Each structure stands twice: as structure tokens, then as C-alpha cells.
Amino acid sequence: MSGTRTLCCHVNTATLTFAILYLIGNVLKLAGIFLMPSWEKSEYSFSYHESKAFKGQRVFDISTNILMLVLMSISAVLALFSQRKGSIFVLPFTLMMMVELTLSFLSLFNGAWGLPGTPTYRDLLQAVKEQKRVPVLNEEDIGQLTMWYSVFFMMDILLKVYILQVSMRSFYALKERRVPAIHVDTGNTVTVKLPSYDEALKMKTEDTPPNYQEP
């Protein structure tokens, strides 16, 4: 990873900025999960066993979403200490960005793999139908919704790729900056001036140790 600047600032400053925004976003998502009703009323009637299965699925989904958001928040907090503690504190943030990119691509095939707090295409479709108060959207509305969702999805992917690249460059920049500091602090460097070839030839032979003789 060459270069330590990105756009108009240092890669370390950009990583800290993204980590702060990332942390704020995750905290807001967590607040949204805790503030929403625990069990939403379904529009359809379920039997007792179906309702119990639905409730169990809801508990599992909410638990995994909360765990994922907590891990994301911890990685962002660790990145804030990278300037003092070293490059290893940026690594969790970089790994979480890789996980986010993977889940974003998987959400194209199945909405259950989507990121917590991020609406899927099905969620947006249902929201638009509720707003328009229609059971089915016409082709024009579906086309517009699909176009806008595709644009925002690609922008989100590109932004995450950029954050991943910046965080990786910050990791290597902090690592390179810490290496010379370790050599200076240890003080193990010893400078020895070796004699030239002519000086070595002029050395006295009596400087050599005497031969060992048995008594």
C-alpha cells in the first residue's frame, strides 16, 4: 500500500473519521432495535405453533443483529486508539469492513444475509406499498424503486470498498511508523569502524595470541 494521503487528508485521519461515523451509525441502529416494539402484530392470523415459531425466529434475528452491531461498534472504538496503541488496533475495523462487504453481496441473493439495520429491497417494496396504500405496485413504480435501490446499493458498495482501502493503508502506515521508533527506543544499534585493507596488512604480528605449549 503506497502513499499515506487520500483525497485531502492523511489516511490515519480519514480512518479515524470513518470510525467515528461508523460508530455513530451503529449506535443509532442499536437504539432503533431497542426502541421498536418487541413483538410486532402480524397482519395475518397464525395458529399457536406458527406464532411460536415466528416469535422464535424473531428472537434469533434480533439477537444476531444486536451481536453484529456490538462487534462493529467495538471495532470502531478500537480504531480510535490506533494512533497511540499501534496498527493492530486498526485490524478489527478492517476485518469488519470485509464482513460488511461480504454480507452486502450475499444480500443480493437472500435478504436474510443483509446487514442489521439496513433495509432490503423487499422491505422498501413493502414500505412503498404501505405508503401508497395499495396491495400491488404498478410497473412504473417498481421500475423507479428498482433503479433508485440499485444506485444507492452501488454507492454503498463503493463507499465500503473505499473505507476498506483507506483502513488497510492506515494499518501499513502505522506499522511503518512504529518500526523505526522501536529501533530508536531499544538502543541496541552498535556502530563499529572496520579497518581498511592496508591497515589490516600493517597490523603487528605480535598482536596475535601466542601458540599454546604443553608444560
Q: Taking 50 as the threshold, does the pLDDT of residue 194 lie above it?
A: yes
Q: Which residue has the cell 421500475?
A: 143
Give the pLDDT confidence score for residue 16 in this predicted structure: 92
Helix and strand numbers (H, E) in the chain are 7, 2
- The answer to whether 160 and 115 have CB atoms below 8 angstroms apart is no
Whether 63 contacts 70, CB under 8 Å? no
pLDDT of residue 9: 82
Phi and psi of 6, rounded to 5°? Answer: -140, 125
**HSE-CB of 205 using CA atoms within 13 angstroms:** 1
Q: Could you tell me the CA-to-CA distances from 171 to 16, 20, 86, 117 in Å, in that order?
A: 12, 17, 8, 28
Q: Which residue reads 424473531 in cell numbers?
A: 58
Residues 125-139, mean pLDDT to the nearest whole number: 81
Tens digit of pLDDT for each residue in 21-67?
Answer: 999 988 888 888 777 654 454 443 444 444 454 566 667 777 888 88
111 falls in which pLDDT band (50, 70, 90)?
Answer: low
pLDDT at 193: 60
Q: What's the confidence (pLDDT) of residue 201?
A: 65
Per the prediction, the chain carries an average pLDDT of 75
Instruction: Calculate mean pLDDT across residues 1-5.
Output: 64
Question: pLDDT-derived band of residue 93, with 50, 70 and 90 as boundaries?
Answer: very high
Q: Is the pLDDT of residue 7 over 70?
A: yes
Assigned C-alpha cell, 31: 437504539
Higher-pLDDT residue of 111 and 148 is 148
- Band (pLDDT 50/70/90 cuts) for residue 78 is very high
